[in-house]
Amino acid sequence: MELFTENRLNLLRDIRKSLIRTMILCGMVFFVMLFFVEKIMRVLKDIINMKLILYSLPEAFMSYLKVAFLLALLIIVPYVIFEITRVISKHTTIRGGNIYLMVFVGTILFYGGCFFCYKVVLPSGIKFLLQYQTDYLKPMISLSAYVSFTFTFLLVFGIMFELPLIMGMLGKLGIINTKFLNKQRRFFILLNSIISAILTPTPDVINLLLMMVPMQILYEIGVFVVYFTNIDKLQKEKNSV
pLDDT in tens, 13-70: 888 999 999 999 999 999 999 999 988 888 888 888 788 888 888 888 999 999 999 9
Q: Give the residue-averaged pLDDT of 233-240.
A: 56
Distance of CA 168 to the CA centre of its chain: 16
For residue 209, the surrounding DSSP H or E stretch is helix 205-229
Confirm whether 23 is domain-assigned. Answer: yes
Selection from 241, 116, 101, 122 nearest residue 172 by Cα: 101
Whether 149 and 202 map to the same domain: the answer is: no
DSSP state of 212: H
Whether 198 and 156 map to the same domain: the answer is: no
Whether 176 and 229 map to the same domain: the answer is: yes
Whether 145 and 235 map to the same domain: the answer is: no
Confirm whether 120 is domain-assigned. Answer: no
Is 80 exceeded by the pLDDT of residue 207?
Answer: no
Confirm whether 62 is domain-assigned. Answer: yes
Higher per-residue confidence, 123 vs 1: 123
State the pLDDT at residue 203. Answer: 66
Do the beta carbons of residue 229 and residue 143 sit within 8 Å? no
Confirm whether 241 is domain-assigned. Answer: yes
DSSP state of 92: S
How many structural domains is the chain composed of? Answer: 2
Whether 174 and 154 map to the same domain: the answer is: no
For residue 53, the surrounding DSSP H or E stretch is none
Question: How many C-beta atoms lie closer than 10 Å to residue 208's C-beta?
Answer: 16
Confirm whether 118 is domain-assigned. Answer: no
Whether 97 and 212 map to the same domain: the answer is: no
Whether 156 and 230 map to the same domain: the answer is: no
pLDDT-based confidence at 227, cuts 50/70/90?
confident
| Three-class DSSP category at 142 | strand
Confirm whether 124 is domain-assigned. Answer: no
Selection from 144, 164, 216 nearest residue 187 by Cα: 216
Confirm whether 123 is domain-assigned. Answer: no
Domain that holds residue 74: 1-113+135-161
Whether 153 and 37 map to the same domain: the answer is: yes
Whether 104 and 172 map to the same domain: the answer is: no
Whether 185 and 239 map to the same domain: the answer is: yes
Confirm whether 122 is domain-assigned. Answer: no
State the pLDDT at residue 26. Answer: 94
As a whole number, the mean pLDDT across the chain is 84
Whether 213 and 142 map to the same domain: the answer is: no
Selection from 11, 22, 169 nearest residue 98 by Cα: 169
